[in-house]
Amino acid sequence: MNRRSKQKRNDDDPDQWYFAAAGRWSSVRWSQSLFKRHLSIVHRDTTRHPEDVFLSGAAGFQIDDAWSVICEEYSSEVVGCLRKMRVPGQEPYDLWAQALERLLKESTSFPVADFVEHSECVLPPTKIVEFEGRASLKSYLILIAQNIGRDHLKRKEVEIEQTDVAVVAHQKTGVGEKSELNEVELKQVQFLLRDGFSCLTKNEKCVLKSIGLLGMSNLEVSAMQGYSASTATRYRQSAIKTMNRKLKQGFERSGEFDDRVMETALSYFQRILQSLSEDAST
């Protein structure tokens, strides 16, 4: 992490923040009164990166020098991160440009009326003005650019899936493949799984969702949620245990499943849940 971007809130004096930011980016000329007004709107109490709020605010009010600083300071870092995700047909610089384009759009939620008396605010503020400084500007820019890249990937995946479905439908030509579970059984399984999941505590649900749906490892979950690694493991294991128990009880109670389906289903879910814990431990 760029050490320079770590800005600590040693004191809550907006004047000091202003002078620190103005000193750091001397080319960006933005008035102190506007900065303070801007801070009061973006919830000064929650701001962790006031210098970044200065830069984003100035850029939001379309000061060209602020945009130059953003491009100079952050483009290499953002593009570096974007290189790690390969998006077909999109170069990292394209995604960075699209992120800037998104931030240059006119802001719809910012209270422009509060700035009417300031003669400097001639142009309508752009979307970057909504940045509140709760995260660093660098992370904010990386995230926006990554999300744009992800959107492109998702669109590509949908295109491929649609093509695959069409090919498979064409190949099958009406020969319906028999599923192991009939409609009633499938609904029953879905119900049992939902029932099992609803019995979990909030933390257990959160861990299972993060591992099962977001593909996070145990360590990542613990880092993101602020648990210790052992706590995350405990939540995961108890969640899996509860789900298993509920499933087994449900199968035995319903009596609608023949032994073969029940056995296959249990072993399969056991395998999936086990693979979750294996993924988590890596």
The residues of the shown chain that bind another protein, judged by CB under 8 A, are 1, 3, 81, 84-85, 130-132, 134-136, 139-140, 142-144, 146-151, 154, 177-181, 186, 189-190, 193-194, 196-198, 202, 205-206, 208-210, 212-216, 220, 223-226, 264-265, 268-269, 272, 275-276
CB of 29 to another protein, least distance (A): 26
SS (H, E, C) 182-228: CHHHHHHHHHHHHHHHHCCCHHHHHHHHHHHCCCCCHHHHHHHHCCC
- Report the Cα 19 to chain-centroid distance in Å: 33
Directed axis angle between helix 50-60 and helix 64-83, to 10°? Answer: 110
C-beta closer to another protein: residue 37 or 209: 209
CA atoms within 13 A on the CB side of 196: 23
C-beta closer to another protein: residue 23 or 111: 111
CB of 27 to another protein, least distance (A): 25
Q: What is the DSSP annotation of 156-176?
A: HHHHHHHHHHHHHHHHHTT-P
CB of 152 to another protein, least distance (A): 10
CB of 170 to another protein, least distance (A): 18
Q: Which of 214, 199, 99, 204 has the alpha carbon at shortest distance from 147?
A: 99
CB of 223 to another protein, least distance (A): 6
C-beta closer to another protein: residue 55 or 81: 81
C-beta closer to another protein: residue 134 or 156: 134
**Residue ranges in 26-136 assigned as alpha helix (H):** 32-41, 50-60, 64-83, 92-103
C-beta closer to another protein: residue 64 or 158: 158
C-beta closer to another protein: residue 185 or 233: 185
CB of 131 to another protein, least distance (A): 6
DSSP, collapsed to helix, strand or coil, labels residue 2 as coil
**Phi–psi pair at 223, nearest 5 degrees:** -70, -40
Question: Are residues 273 and 242 in contact, defined by beta-carbon separation less than 8 angstroms?
Answer: no
